[in-house]
Amino acid sequence: MGLTSNKVLALAVLVAVVLFALTVRLWPRLARRDPKAVLGRVGLLLVTQLSLFAAVGLAANNYFLFYGSWADLLGQEQEMGVVVDHSAGSRDVRVVEKRGMDVPGGHHPATGGQIQKVVVEGPRSGIESPAYVYLPPEYFQPAHARRTFPAAVVLTGYPGTAENLLKGLRYPRTAYDQAKAGKMQPMILVMLRPTVAPPRDTECVDVPGGPRTETFFARDLPEAISKTYRVGAKPRNWGFIGNSTGGYCALKIALHHPDRFAAGAGLSAYYKAAEDVTTGDLFRGDAKLRNRADLLWSLDNVRQGASSFLVTTSRQGEGNLRGTRDFIAKVKAPARVSSITLDSGGHNFGTWNREIPPALVWMSGRLSAV
């Protein structure tokens, strides 16, 4: 059973309840002061508390999806599947799995759309990364057989798993619902985590000597997707959205590559590349590279293109309120900026799920299918 399985959670809760009941039942018998009774009390308390912690931890993980599998929890890389669909039409994208949507009629792609698990190879960056591609129902409908669609790259935070975008943050389902309600045009979503060189957090920069993460996201990924699916290759066809580290990446790529992306949305983003034990030495002492990775510095010192930006924050609960206000103040024409400011909301899935629907509608309004 998988780490996020409801059966695993139910079993953990059942074990915790049984051990608690057993502790209550046996405690009078273990009330003596001899060594065996003391050891018995210590043992019961220990296993009962461990079972309670395990149940609470599993419940929290099922909600927030910190870890997507046992291998992920143990720090091991999960092997990719071996089934390859070569009909995708591009050597840079390999389809390894197809799944339906959890919507009425979702087992029919023309009704509910489809999610494809893929592996993307970047010829320029040398990076290979798994991803999920959401294709809306219209993509499979005969009436739209010759239609192209806008697309958005969607990133998690760090460390994150791509599964977070499907389950906890529900990007495909939200895009489906918003398009069905007529609030946004059908869009293709390319969902993955920013950690393309695990376990290192590269902050979506081209690290001197590698890995070339910015090149992968700014050039390799959109080009590979455009070759494989019916997505245009012009800036107006592409957007970028993410939360936390993924939000920083989205704003950074859109800011520095207006020739590739027309829009970037950063949910709870920060505005300067992190430098800590998870990143290592990103810039190798190069002050120009470090400054370029500071978005507020870039807005002041780099010519702004015609990209549109969306930034989000909260008056209470987020630490990026001041940085967000500074970002907004520094965006100048021809660039445009919009914002979402919640009264309160922390750095978590609950907050982002309040921002994703309007963010997708905003993104849809900034992109074109042709």
Tens-digit pLDDT profile for residues 280-301:
999 999 999 999 999 999 999 9
- Name, of 16-25, 63-72, 75-84, 286-295, the range with top average pLDDT: 286-295
More confident of the two residues 335 and 46: 335
Q: Kindly state the average pLDDT of the residues 307-315.
A: 95
What is the Cα Rg of the chain in Å?
A: 23
Q: How far is CA 141 from CA 35, 85, 145, 364, in A?
A: 73, 21, 6, 20
- Between strands 128-135 and 308-316, the pairing is unpaired
**Residues 6+ away with beta carbon under 8 Å from 309:** 251, 254, 255, 263, 264, 265, 266, 327, 331, 335, 336, 337, 338
The model's confidence at residue 38, banded by pLDDT at 50, 70 and 90, is: confident
Is a pLDDT exceeding 70 seen at residue 61? no
Question: Domain ranges in the chain?
Answer: 6-64, 78-366
Tokens standing for residue 165: 């975008």
* Predicted pLDDT of residue 159: 85
Q: How far is CA 92 from CA 78, 99, 229, 344, 356, in A?
A: 20, 21, 12, 42, 29
Query: What is the rounded CA–CA span in Å between residue 254 and residue 295?
Result: 11
* Predicted pLDDT of residue 132: 97
CATH number for the domain running over 78-366: 3.40.50.1820
Tokens standing for residue 43: 């043992």
| Average pLDDT of the chain to the nearest whole number | 88
Query: What is the rounded CA–CA span in Å between residue 310 and residue 199?
Result: 29
- pTM for the predicted model, two decimal places: 0.78
* Predicted pLDDT of residue 40: 74
Tens-digit pLDDT profile for residues 18-36:
888 887 777 777 677 777 7
